[in-house]
Amino acid sequence: MADFLMYLKAFLVGGAICVIGQGLIMYTRLTSARVLVLFVVSGVFLTAIGVYKPLVDFAGAGATVPLTGFGYTLAMGAADAVYRYGFFGAFTGGITNAAAGITCAILFGLINALLFKPKAK
Amino acid sequence: MGLIGRRTFLFENDVSIVSRASIAGPKEGKGPLGAAFDMVMDDDLLGQKSWEMAESEMLRRTVELCMRKAKKQTSDIGALLSGDLNAQIISSGFAARSLGVPFFGLYGACSTMAQSMIAGAALVDGGYLENAVCAASSHFCTAERQFRSPLELGCQRPPSAQWTVTAAGAVMLMKAEGEYIRVTHGTVGRVIDMKIKDANHMGAAMAPAVMDTLIAHFEDTGRDFRDYGRIITGDLGIYGRKLLIELLKDRGINADEEKLMDAGAEMFYKEQDAHAGGSGCGCVASVLAGKVLDDMEKNAYERALVLGSGAMLSLLSSQQGESIPSVSYAAALEGGSGNG
Amino acid sequence: MDAKRYSKLVKEITPGSPKLSGFFRAFWVGGFISMIGQGFNQIGALIGLSYQELPMFTSSLLVLIAAFLTGIGVYDKIGKYAGAGSIVPITGFANSVVSPAMEFRREGLVMGVGARLFFLAGPVLAYGISASVVYGIIYYVLEVAGIWG
- For chain C, the domains span 26-117, 119-149
Asked if pLDDT for residue B339 goes beyond 90, the answer is no
B63: confidence class by pLDDT, cuts 50, 70, 90: very high
- Chain-chain contact of B154 with C95 (C-beta, under 8 angstroms): yes
Q: What residue in B sits closest to A112 (Cα-Cα)?
A: B152
Spatial contact of B327 and B189, defined as CB atoms under 8 Å apart: yes
Q: Which chains touch C (3 or more CB pairs under 8 A)?
A: A, B
Q: What is the mean pLDDT of residues A47-73?
A: 96
Asked if pLDDT for residue B283 goes beyond 70, the answer is yes
Among C13, C78, C120, select the one facing B242 at the smallest CB separation: C13
Q: What residue in A sits closest to B142 (Cα-Cα)?
A: A120
pLDDT in tens, C37-84: 999 999 999 999 998 899 999 999 999 999 999 999 999 999 999 999
* pTM score: 0.95
- Chain-chain contact of C79 with B151 (C-beta, under 8 angstroms): no
Q: Which chains touch B (3 or more CB pairs under 8 A)?
A: A, C
Fold annotation for B181-334: Peroxisomal Thiolase; Chain A, domain 1 (3.40.47)
Q: What is the mean pLDDT of residues B195-222?
A: 96
Per-residue model confidence (pLDDT) at position A2:
77
Per-residue model confidence (pLDDT) at position B261:
96
Q: Does C32 touch chain A (CB under 8 A)?
A: yes
The dihedral over CA atoms of C67, C70, C72, C77, expressed in degrees to the nearest 10, equals 150
Greater model confidence, A89 or A28: A89
Per-residue model confidence (pLDDT) at position B75:
97
Per-residue model confidence (pLDDT) at position B1:
58
Q: Does C67 touch chain B (CB under 8 A)?
A: no
C145: confidence class by pLDDT, cuts 50, 70, 90: low
- Chain-chain contact of C19 with A110 (C-beta, under 8 angstroms): no
Residues of chain B contacting C100 with CB distance shorter than 8 Å = 150, 153
Residues of chain C contacting B154 with CB distance shorter than 8 Å = 70, 75-80, 82, 86-87, 92, 95, 99
- Chain-chain contact of C103 with B196 (C-beta, under 8 angstroms): no
Q: Kindly report the CA angle at B214 between B211 and B216, in degrees rounded to 5?
A: 105
Q: What is the mean pLDDT of residues A99-113?
A: 94
Q: CA–CA separation, B199 vs B188, rounded Å?
A: 24
Q: What residue in B sits closest to C12 (Cα-Cα)?
A: B243
Q: What is the mean pLDDT of residues B79-105?
A: 97
| Cα separation values, B276 from B106, B198, C87, Å | 26, 14, 24
Asked if pLDDT for residue A28 goes beyond 90, the answer is no
pLDDT in tens, B115-124: 999 999 999 9
Asked if pLDDT for residue C149 goes beyond 90, the answer is no
Per-residue model confidence (pLDDT) at position B340:
40
A1: confidence class by pLDDT, cuts 50, 70, 90: low
Out of 3.40.50.300, 3.30.1490.390, 3.30.565.10, 3.40.47.40, which CATH number does the structure's domain B17-175 have? 3.40.47.40
Which of C56, C92, C128, C88 is CA-nearest to residue A42?
Answer: C128
Per-residue model confidence (pLDDT) at position C147:
65
Per-residue model confidence (pLDDT) at position B336:
64
